Amino acid sequence: MLEIKSIVKRFGGITVLSDLSLSLEPGSVNCIIGPNGCGKTTLFNLITGRLRPDDGQIILKGQDITGRPAWRIANLGISRKFQIPGVYPELSVAENLIVPLAAAQRRSGSMATMFSSRADRLAALLDLCGLSHKAVDRVETLAHGEKQWLEIAMLLAFDTDLILLDEPTAGMSVPETEKTAGLVKRLQSEFGKTVLVIEHDMSFVRALDCRLIVMLRGKVVREGRLEEIQKDPEVIAAYLGGTAAC
């Protein structure tokens, strides 16, 4: 689905990403962990075209997207959720979903995507984010967690193959965090999406039960399951430190 080859990003004299390589299998869930400032968000900015790399290549489904504009990359099949919910507060929940549904229709030129009709699609998306009972409510009246779930459903409505989520559980309670892990898993299990998540919350990482990618000092230093990663001395020293949570 995605192949990042030896990417380098510098800001002035500081090298934030150095020779970083990574690949994502189609239909997989992957989670990036790493200490503050190690370059996780910068990596998302490079993948989505907000920033251009100084060196290296980014390949999406066999196509070189390195340095292409963000709108073009979105149309080629990558959607992204920022930490703060990117929803339309004055529109209803259903209207928020109709906007990306329409954008997906325009992008593909066909509705032969996930569902058989627009009504079915809308109902499935409302069900996915647990907001069927609030379909006509204005989004500004929703709780923080509900806005985050709505935005994840909006990404699904836009129907790209690859979905990037930047700390989707930021500001959430423990039950909300657990629900978010279930939602992210459904993107893969029910809809076949490839998902790449940045997350700090280890209870969420554990619940997600997926491949972990550990970044340190601008590089990928380890990949694997949590059980392996949490035993790694370098990871423990540099990132997990004393956090008994892992």
Ligand X SMILES: Nc1ncnc2c1ncn2[C@@H]1O[C@H](COP(=O)(O)OP(=O)(O)OP(=O)(O)O)[C@@H](O)[C@H]1O
The contacts of residue 30 (CB under 8 Å, 6+ apart) are 24, 194, 195, 196, 197, 210, 211, 212, 213
- Which is closer to ligand X, CB of 15 or CB of 28? 15
Size of the residue set binding ligand X (CB under 6 A): 10
Q: How many other β-carbons are positioned within 10 Å of the β-carbon of residue 94?
A: 18
CB nearer ligand X, residue 26 or residue 171: 171
The yes or no reply on residue 34 touching ligand X (CB under 6 A) is: yes
Contacting residue, 20, 29, 42, 205, with ligand X by CB under 6 A: 42
| Residue from 158, 156, 135 nearest 146 by CA | 135
Q: Which two tokens stand for residue 221?
A: 């230093």
Which residues within the stretch 150-189 sit at the binding site for ligand X (CB under 6 A)?
none
Least Å from the CB of residue 25 to ligand X: 23
**Shortest Cβ 208–ligand X spacing (Å):** 17
In sequence order, the β-bridge partners of residue 15 are 10
Q: Does 100 bind ligand X (CB under 6 A)?
A: no
When asked if residue 40 is in the footprint of ligand X (CB under 6 A), the reply is yes
Sheet with 63-64: list strands edge to edge. Answer: 14-24, 2-11, 55-60, 63-64
Instruction: Please report whether residue 49 would count as binding ligand X according to CB under 6 A.
Output: no
Q: How far is the CB of 112 from ligand X (least distance, A)?
A: 37
Choose the binding region for ligand X from 39-47, 171-179, 183-191, 236-244 (rule: CB under 6 A).
39-47
Nearer to ligand X, 96 or 148 (CB): 148
Told to check if 13 binds ligand X by CB under 6 A, we report no
- For tokens 């699904």, the residue is 156
- The neighbour count for residue 102, using CB atoms within 10 Å, is 13
Are 21 and 220 in contact, with CB atoms under 8 Å apart? yes
Determine contact, residues 131/146, Cβ cutoff 8 Å. Answer: yes
Q: Per rule CB under 6 A, is residue 48 in the interface with ligand X?
A: no
CB of 166 to ligand X, least distance (A): 8
Point out which span in 35-43, 105-113, 155-163, 174-182 binds ligand X (CB under 6 A). Answer: 35-43
Q: In the chain, which ranges are continuous DSSP H helix?
A: 40-47, 70-76, 93-108, 118-128, 144-158, 174-189, 202-208, 226-229, 233-235
The whole-angstrom distance between residue 162's C-alpha and the CA centroid of its chain comes to 8
Among 6, 11, 102, 234, binds ligand X (CB under 6 A): 11
How far apart are CB 38 and ligand X at their closest, in Å? 4
The CB-of-164 to ligand X minimum distance in angstroms stands at 12
Question: Interface residues with ligand X (CB under 6 A)?
Answer: 11, 16, 34, 36-42
